[in-house]
Amino acid sequence: MNAPSISAANAWVKTFPSPLFTHADGPLSGLKFAVKDNIDVAGVPTTAACPDFAFTPSTHATVVDRLLGAGAQLVGKTNLDQFACGLNGTRSPFGPVPNAVNAAYVSGGSSSGSAFTVASGQVDFALGTDTAGSGRVPAGLNGIVGLKPTKGLISTHGVLPASRSVDCISIFARTCRPHGAYCCRRWDLIHRIPTPVRFS
């Protein structure tokens, strides 16, 4: 049996003909982002890398809605290890995601597509999820920053759960070094989305 082809296109489940945005101005105006395909975007199938499971949500995940409201532009949805279960970035019917640094290595997962699209410069930042390393592992293997915020800082409403009690939205960026307004806008991404999810 032949090994599946590793292509840069495998990082995407869907790209939009033109970026989605709701506000032309705002603290994130001009920044393009992608979201892992277990995060809901209204009118776009959420597959979790399982086409037979796919459903089409009628509303955005809270975090997507907030980012669009802050002026960011959504480019598309990214590949992942199926159902966000896996740490190598190869367990998807959409194909294995390459490593942006060294093709001899795996990309890491499960948020492989989000990490690759940031590391390869296709977007300014991306969202993934992190339950047990799914954000930090691909960030490390692709040479970028992967932040797992404190649980509850960023709402997971509209995110397909892997393990609801510990799931977190993760944020990917190429750097966290301060360089003027760009850095301020990036921190705004974190601090303007404080919609905690409480569990009793």
Residues annotated catalytic, as ranges: 36, 110, 134
Show the tokens assigned to 165: 């009690």
User: Cβ distance 105 to 112 under 8 Å?
Assistant: no
User: Cβ distance 38 to 46 under 8 Å?
Assistant: yes
User: Cβ distance 54 to 142 under 8 Å?
Assistant: no
- Look-up of token digits 């569990």: 199
Quote the CA–CA distance of 125 and 119 in Å, as a whole number: 9
